[in-house]
Structure 1
Amino acid sequence: MKKGKVHIIFGTGMGKTAMALGRGVSAAMHGRKVIMIQFLKGVLSHETADGLKQLEPAFKVFRFEKQNEYYENLSEEGKKEELCNIQNGYNFAKKVLCTGECDMLILDEFLGVLDQKLVGDDALETLLAAHEENVDLILTGKVCPAGAEEHADEVTRLECLKPSNDHACMNG
């Protein structure tokens, strides 16, 4: 990833976040500043949060949601409460892109935010318009919205073709 690329990583297979993290860690190891904003995943466990803090200041991870569960598992009331937090995460992503605060911005499960219509219909276009030429943008999620691929420099689809005996194919 040289300069200002847009990458989409999607599919029902496992590994989208891991792939994005790997790219982020690689970029950080090469002196680039990385910010990851995670959506729809709830609060980080203490162990995971502590592990990710070791990557700072080159690689920072943010979650704006406050619930301990994945968004899709919340009650309707819980979803309403989290919607404001999700929108705060989206607004932070726009700010990061506009200010050029990092060299790589990873929006983990943002494609799910788009798919569930938790932000405006123009959210992707707004982010792409704010996208600086020198910032790599990585978007992950289960579903790639119609038209998104045409804005991407690279699109990767992950899917489980054959589950192992000890790991069933999971939905993302």
Structure 2
Amino acid sequence: MQKGCIQLYYGDGKGKTTAAIGQIVRCVGHGFKVLVYQFLKEPNSGEVSVIKSLPGVEYIENEGPIPFMFNLTPEQQEFYKEKFQKKFDEVREKYFSGEYDLVVLDEVIDAYNLGTIPKEQLHEMMDKRPEGTELVITGHQYGMDISELTNRADYVTKFVKEKHPFDLGMPCRKGIEE
């Protein structure tokens, strides 16, 4: 791949993961090698089986149920921080190997804002990106300052929700939101 860039998709609107998946499909269509990790998500979302079946894609999977971090006690949050840190260490090692053309860190902005991963480690990944690696990061902003991320990115797209059925109490629907 030519010089890689950093793409950042954030906001409360639907479509961030979908945009990242589109980028994966485009890269695979050109025979590129892709690494994908979805933070704070269980591997039962509809896109996972398709992503894992694509040639050249390595998908790092979370284990066990993943609760909403907002609903946890401080002790439970610490347990999950340690769990996610182990996965993030694995992702970072693979990322810095330089063997991937595209690395997608889905919902990493959420992990960043919730303190689930050390902010400095994500900054380092953005600042010391292997030359030919495209990095895609996604997530919600939750009203927090993410300028440390947007300033480092080459592409920044904000997804703004104007209306969503979840606001009226409709849960996530299989095949649409999950």
Task: Tell me, yes or no, whether TM beats 0.5.
Answer: yes
**1:16 to 1:169, Cα distance in 2 relative to 1, 3 A:** farther
Correspondence for 1:44: 43
> TM-score, with normalisation over the residues of structure 2?
0.80
Q: Distance in 2 between matches of 1:154 and 1:34?
A: 19
> TM-score, with normalisation over the residues of structure 1?
0.82
Correspondence for 1:27: 27
Q: Secondary structure at the match of 1:7?
A: strand
Q: Does 1:13 align with 2:13?
A: yes
CA displacement at 1:49 relative to structure 2: 4.3
Maintained 8 Å contact 1:33/1:58: yes
Maintained 8 Å contact 2:40/2:66: no
Gaps of 5+ in 1: none
Correspondence for 2:52: 53
CA displacement at 1:65 relative to structure 2: 4.4
Q: Does 1:81 align with 2:82?
A: no
Q: Secondary structure at the match of 1:151?
A: coil
Maintained 8 Å contact 1:64/1:85: no
Q: Distance in 1 between matches of 2:17 and 2:53?
A: 18
Maintained 8 Å contact 1:110/1:139: yes
Q: Secondary structure at the match of 2:119?
A: coil
Q: Secondary structure at the match of 1:45?
A: coil
Maintained 8 Å contact 1:4/1:136: yes
Structural mapping, 1:58-69, within 5 Å: 58-69=56-67
RMSD: 2.6
Q: Does 1:99 align with 2:97?
A: yes
How many residue pairs get aligned? The number is: 166
Q: Distance in 1 between matches of 2:117 and 2:166?
A: 32
Which runs of at least 4 in structure 1 moved beyond 6 Å after TM superposition? none
**1:3 to 1:52, Cα distance in 2 relative to 1, 3 A:** same
Q: Distance in 2 between matches of 1:127 and 1:10?
A: 18
Aligned letter for 1:105?
Answer: V
Q: Does 1:155 align with 2:156?
A: yes
CA displacement at 1:76 relative to structure 2: 4.5
Q: Secondary structure at the match of 1:88?
A: helix
Moved more, 94-103 or 62-71: 62-71
Q: Distance in 1 between matches of 2:66 and 2:150?
A: 32
CA displacement at 1:69 relative to structure 2: 3.4
- 2:117 counterpart (106, 116, 119): 119
Gaps of 5+ in 2: 169-176
- 2:132 counterpart (131, 134, 143): 134
Moved more, 120-129 or 16-25: 120-129
Q: Distance in 2 between matches of 1:159 and 1:136?
A: 24
How many percent identity over aligned positions?
Answer: 26
